[in-house]
Structure 1
Amino acid sequence: MRILFLHSNFPAQFRHLAVALAQNSNHKVVFGTTRKEGALPGVYKAIYTPSREAHPQTHHYVRSLEGAVLQGQAVYRLADQLKAQSFIPDVVYAHSGWGPSLFIKDIFPKAKLLCYFEWFYHAHGSDADFDPSEPLTADDEARIRIKNAPILIDLYSCDRGLAPTYWQRQQFPPEYHNKIKVHHDGVDTQFFQPQPGAKLFLPRINLDLREVPEIVTYVARGMEPYRGFPQLIETVALLQKRRPQCHVVIVGENRVAYGRTLPDGKTYKDVMLEKVPLDLNRVHFTGLLPYPEYLQVLQASSVHLYLTRPFVLSWSMLEALSAGCLVVASNTAPVTEMIQDGINGLLVDFFDTQAICDRIEYALDNPTQMVSIRHQARETILERYDLAQLLPQHLQWIQEITEQ
């Protein structure tokens, strides 16, 4: 089989899949991406570069669509180069939304097009209108509707699609559900496993918390309202008043990965630290961490906090469950697809920082009672989201579609 993966942020959801396919000498695996960094064994990486960015004078409703068309155009040119090198894929597997798959059926009409459908936008009922302090305007509603244009083209063009959770599939138009299989990427449970009694010591960044009795952890790609960063900081302020020995470790970059940036150039970290006084000797911002260090953070965690608007689910939440963390999470979709309150984690109101603090304190004060919840957290991942089970099923799904 010859397969072309397309994702601007290499390797993203296709990491394990691409490596597994490349291990078979009967397969030729090419990965088209804009990201120059990184490599995967046996995978040929092909860089595509849009000719320009969306023009700032383009109507703001369609700026994201113009960006998607530019991505699709760049992939079309890459595909022409691959054809000149005699690479004609049997399968193209693309992440839908940013545009790389828009013209695949034109350049490779005989290839099966598979799409990873992560999100379908709605102005109401999910992420966009979740925070009552951020009411939507008519412009917002129109812009959000148009963001679905490249995704709708993919829904029409693709042979089959995949969504990681049932709730995420439910966001897509019902008439396309028969095209979309629910199948999570999977969690490497051999890597993300508990280590009872683990201590946190990361000499590379001079972080030594081996003598600290209580460590609350938080992980997100960025520091933004979508992942509850403001609520985190307000919760930390409450915790610090009550628990003088508690330290908080925050993993992620000081940027916005999802949602709006602030208009004055400040980051949400800047704003929240100006607004909320904290003892920064007990708050540790690590930046992004290599996987082994990230794992150490999870394994040493006393309580792991995960907050999200109703939106795309983070890998980090499932990885924390797999590592046996005591996860306190927002009572939002699709978190509730994985976590049952009091069974394999603790659920809280996204906006109620007092309640979040109370739940964290309850977990810290009752470690013996939390043992069974930690155990069930890992069992949930082993039973339903283990990469060792899901990866072969994913490969079989691709093979079956190729043979149709």
Structure 2
Amino acid sequence: MKVLLIHPNFPAQLRHVAMSLGQATGNVVVFATKNPRHEWSIPGVSKVLFTPVQGEGLKAHRLANPVQDAVLLGEAMHRTAHELNRQGFRPDVIYANSGWGSTLYLKDIWPDVPLLCYFEWFYDPAGADALFDTPAPAAGEYRAPMLMRTRNSSIFNDLWACTQGLSPTHWQRSQFPQEFQPKIEVLHDGVDTDFFSPNPEQPMILGDLDLSAEDEVVTFAGRGMEPYRGFPQFMKGVEILQKRREKLHVVVAGTERVCYGSPRADGKSWKQHLLETLDVDESRLHFVGSLPYGEYRKLLQASRCHIYLSRPFVLSWSFVEAMACGCPLAASDTEPVREAVSHGNNALLFDFFKPLELADRVEEILDDRSLARRLGENARQTALTRYDLKKLLPKHLKLLEQTAIKGLKARAQSK
């Protein structure tokens, strides 16, 4: 089977699918990406680049920026697709991540090639995410139009053009317009539960940081440090916990950046702002940066309690990875979290906006080892039952094959 995989960031959500396809005899697999990642290659998978070209002097209206970015990516991928086609590569199926714009003009090159789209999120100005911490406008109140509507433009194109869609959780699928939901199958990416597995003997040693002699070590992990993932509430919870527990240490993995949402208007990072405004003991608060997978796994395995927060948004891989490692979890009581866990069974949940409640939940876990053990074991079992890569990867490959077959049938019927 000839497969074209597309994601601006290599290999992102398509990593395991790409690896499996590349290992199979007879497949021809091309991965188109904007990010070359020269240090990372996948056996059996050819990498091609698409590079957006910014027009000189071209400045878009602020509300049109998402459209312009999508068009530039779509144009770049169109050039790459044209060159692949000229070289004789015609895919049997295309699997692409939606929302970036790279799929916008593919049908101009291969009008009858079936398209499988990974739909992660649909932006709704009146949805749970947008109104989570912002009340709806009062009657007669004027608010400037939101970027969300224009951000959906390329997503709408994919919803219309795709042969088949998938979304990793029921919560994420439910955000899309109802008329398109029948095209979208719920199928999580899956987590390698052999790699992410419990190790009760793992000490908290990460590079020069050695907390192996400490009993109370709490963890937090994310790509960035931002309000979307509750970083301000987490830090306020740390302030409370440190005052209550003199021996508590907190380890934070992630980079000092905003991955979702807007940066602070004053130019400061959220980490900088919160360290300046909160009364925390930095000798017991350890920022270890972005960790390689092996070190990140150690962090989860050595954690006495792992804290996770998210707005009503995309469920993080890190949360399921923490579940797979058997972490006792204290997590925000929000929709994406509630789909994965339930309070008292495989996690303790708290109100996203109440750091005091966060601190109380963490203390419950630290003070009751039998509770912590039960929560961790149940979280691990949930990961094995619902999120195990060994079970879900074959379903992804089958869906890809079924999408290719749909294309064959459609071409046969058109003749």
Q: TM-score, normalised by structure 1?
A: 0.96
Q: Which runs of 4+ in 1 moved over 6 A?
A: 53-56, 133-137
For structure 2, the 5+ residue unaligned runs are: 407-415
Alignment match, 1:157:
161
Greater alpha carbon shift after TM alignment, 97-106 vs 32-41: 32-41
Is the contact made by 1:223 and 1:255 (CA closer than 8 Å) also made in structure 2?
A: yes
Check conservation: 1:219, 1:251, Cα contact below 8 A. yes
Q: Partners in 2 of 1:54 and 1:267 — Cα distance?
A: 31
Give the percent of matched residue pairs that are identical in Structure 1 and Structure 2.
48
What amino acid sits opposite 1:42 in the alignment?
G
CA distance in structure 1 between the partners assigned to 2:260 and 2:26 by the alignment = 39
Query: Structure 1 residue 289: deviation in Å?
Result: 0.5
* Among candidates 171, 181, 187, match of residue 177 of structure 1: 181
Task: Indicate if the aligned counterparts of 1:105 and 1:113 stay in contact, CA closer than 8 A.
Answer: no
Corresponding residue SS for 2:268:
coil
Question: Which residue number in structure 1 is paired with residue 6 of structure 2?
Answer: 6
Residues 1:234 and 2:236 aligned together: yes
Q: Deviations over 1:271-311 (max 9, x none)?
A: 11111021111111111100000000000000000000000
Residue of structure 2 in register with 1:202 after alignment: 206
Q: 1:27 is matched with which residue?
A: 27
Structure 1 residue matching 2:252: 3-state secondary structure = strand
The 5 Å alignment of 1:88-127 reads: 88-127=90-129
CA offsets 1:103-148 (integer angstroms, 9 cap, x no match): 1111111211110000000112321221148989855544211211
Select which of 305, 308, 324 maps to 1:306: 308
2:295 is paired with a residue whose SS is: helix
What's the TM-score once normalised by structure 2's chain length? 0.94
Cα separation, 2, equivalents of 1:387 and 1:53: 42
Aligned residue runs from structure 1 range 234-383, under 5 A: 234-383=236-385
> Is contact 2:95-2:400 (8 Å) kept?
no
SS of 1:110's partner is coil
Could you tell me how far apart the structure 1 residues matched to 2:338 and 2:402 are? 31
Aligned pairs for 1:28-47 within 5 A: 28-37=28-37, 38-47=40-49
1:219-240 deviation digits (Å, cap 9, x = unpaired): 1111000000001111111111
Aligned letter for 2:270?
Answer: Y
Distance between the aligned counterparts of 2:212 and 2:142, measured in 1?
52
Judged with a 3 Å threshold, the aligned counterparts in structure 2 of structure 1 residues 181 and 218 are, in CA distance, closer, same or farther, namely: same
CA–CA separation in structure 2 for the residues paired with 1:217 and 1:126: 27
2:179 is paired with a residue of what secondary structure?
helix
Sort the Cα spacing of 1:378 and 1:8 in 2 relative to 1 into closer, same or farther, 3 A: same
Aligned residues: 402
Once the two structures are superposed, residues 238-284 of structure 1 have per-residue CA deviations (whole angstroms, 9 ceiling, x without a partner) of 11111111111111110000001112221111111111021111111
Equivalent residue letter for 1:26: G
2:29 is paired with a residue whose SS is strand
| More divergent stretch after superposition (225-234 vs 136-145) | 136-145
Unaligned runs of 5+ in 1: none
Structure 2 SS opposite 1:240: helix
Root-mean-square deviation over aligned CA pairs: 1.7
Give the letter for the 1:187 counterpart.
V
Give the Å deviation of 1:336. 0.4
Question: Retained in 2: the 8 A contact 1:65–1:149?
Answer: yes
Q: What SS is found at the alignment partner of 2:62?
A: coil
- Mapped partners of 2:54, 2:211: distance in 1: 46
- The structure-2 alpha-carbon separation of the partners of 1:223 and 1:73, relative to structure 1 and needing over 3 Å to count, comes to same
Q: Is the 8 A contact 1:76 1:107 kept in 2?
A: yes
One-letter amino acid of the counterpart of residue 164, structure 2 = R
In the alignment, structure 1 residue 189 sits paired with structure 2 residue 193: yes
Moved more, 46-55 or 109-118: 46-55
- Mark the CA change 1:53 to 1:174 in structure 2 (over 3 Å): closer, same or farther: farther
- Following TM superposition, by how much is the alpha carbon of 1:197 offset from its aligned partner in structure 2, in angstroms? 2.9
- Helix, strand or coil: the match of 1:216? strand
Q: In structure 2, do the counterparts of structure 1 residues 311 and 140 end up closer, same or farther at CA, with 3 Å as the change threshold?
A: farther
Tell me the residue number matched to 1:217. Answer: 219
* Match in the other structure for 2:396: 394
Secondary structure at 1:61's aligned position in 2? helix
Take 1:364 and 1:54, find their aligned partners in 2: how far apart are those partners?
Answer: 58
